[in-house]
Amino acid sequence: MSSSSSPGHASSNPWLEAIARRGVGGLGRWWPEVSGWLGFQLFSTPIRGYYKIPAADQAVLARAQSVKLHTWIDQRRCALQVYVWGDRDRPTVLLLHGWMSSSAQMTALVEPLLAAGFRVIALDGPAHGGSSLVQTNLRHFGQAIKAVMRQFGPLHSFIGHSFGAASSLVLLYEDVAVTPQILPRLTLIASPAETQFMMQVIVRAIGGCDRVEANMRQRFLDRYGEPIESFSLSKMASTLVAEQWLPGLVVHDQDDALIPFEQGEAIARAWPGAEFMATAGLGHGDILRDATVIHRVVQFQKEPVQREQIQSQQRQFHHDHRRSSHENLHR
């Protein structure tokens, strides 16, 4: 997800606001099935090229090796647009953007990461930027991450924004072949904690009611075979660290108007051993261009992983959680 007609602006998505102003939400009172169908389409279908790419970002992309990576996404052919900077013998950092955006959103990180000694790869997610497909979801983004790893080798780390950040947790949680040893450290910037929250953003934008949201939830269940509540990213993070160590950096702005600050806090609370960096005044998009954020993100990629410390924190967290659950059970 991105936040405005300028990828760095902090307001909510004006395209969704325009839909609401046209009175689409009024359909929900009389035809919740129609509004539910429309809402689910918005939930699944990004507008390609909605955000203009600044010349400076285009220049960074132009300096990359541009690769079309052909793969399969849910048994459909997909051509993924990939950008590569730096030599292949360097440790690789993968960048993945948010909803309705592209790799251009992440370009402020490229030069600092190169200067720190990394090879940088940026991926246009399915149905975004220069990649093919029309509709997509978190699992599709995860499959695209796997395709990049197959083609370019193991990753040193992953940096994702919003929807792109969330997809890494889904991939690690659902795919037993992708372990923290293969995707060894995560930086999640402005990530949602609950997939159902993203659906509720759409419902509010179209002025939908409870019946519309119920219709969308049923469509989600029909499409993916699981209720949307099962895609709780904070619970996925908690489950992952219960089973194996996983270092992470969670960054969120207190003035994020699209994915509220509490969403980032929820992920950090569920993820013992992760560092939580709170910012203010940056919103959902400008957080990616802030010098202080960029410096900390780059430094995190360079730091040695304190595996024993992380494991100790995670064991203590789950010991406390089990004790709390036991006490609540016997009250």
CATH of the domain at 318: 3.40.50.1820
Assess if residue 2 is contained within a domain: no
Question: What Å distances lie between residue 13 and 19, 156, 281, CA to CA?
Answer: 10, 33, 18
Q: How far apart are CA 37 and CA 29, in angstroms?
A: 14
Q: What pLDDT, on a 0 to 100 scale, did the predictor assign at position 20?
A: 53
Question: What Å distances lie between residue 223 and 87, 136, 169, 191, 231, CA to CA?
Answer: 41, 12, 20, 23, 14
Q: What pLDDT, on a 0 to 100 scale, did the predictor assign at position 183?
A: 76
Give the three-class secondary structure for 36: helix
Assess if residue 11 is contained within a domain: no
pLDDT band of 294, cuts 50, 70, 90:
very high
Q: How far apart are CA 137 and CA 217, in angstroms?
A: 15
Q: What pLDDT, on a 0 to 100 scale, did the predictor assign at position 144?
A: 97
145-163 pLDDT, tens per residue?
Answer: 999 999 998 899 999 999 9
Structure-token pair, residue 229: 């509540």
Q: Taking the model in full, what pTM does it have?
A: 0.84
Alpha-carbon 278 to chain mean position: 17
- What's the domain range around 248? 45-194+232-329
Assess if residue 205 is contained within a domain: no
Q: What pLDDT, on a 0 to 100 scale, did the predictor assign at position 1?
A: 39
pLDDT band of 29, cuts 50, 70, 90:
low
Assess if residue 159 is contained within a domain: yes
Question: What Å distances lie between residue 38 and 14, 49, 155, 225, CA to CA?
Answer: 17, 20, 38, 20
Q: What pLDDT, on a 0 to 100 scale, did the predictor assign at position 205?
A: 74
Assess if residue 101 is contained within a domain: yes
Give the three-class secondary structure for 249: strand
Alpha-carbon 320 to chain mean position: 29
Q: How far apart are CA 307 and CA 72, in angstroms?
A: 35
pLDDT at 272 over 90: no
Assess if residue 268 is contained within a domain: yes
Going by the DSSP 8-state scheme, the letter that residue 228 receives in this structure is G
Q: What percent of the chain has pLDDT over 90?
A: 57
Structure-token pair, residue 28: 């929900």
Q: What pLDDT, on a 0 to 100 scale, did the predictor assign at position 24?
A: 57
Assess if residue 116 is contained within a domain: yes
Assess if residue 5 is contained within a domain: no
Q: Count the neighbouring beta carbons within 10 Å of the beta carbon of residue 173.
A: 19
23-31: average pLDDT: 61
pLDDT band of 5, cuts 50, 70, 90:
very low
pLDDT at 94 over 90: yes
Q: Which residues, in sequence order, are bridge partners of residue 161?
A: 189
Number of domains in the chain: 1
Q: How far apart are CA 224 and CA 231, in angstroms?
A: 11
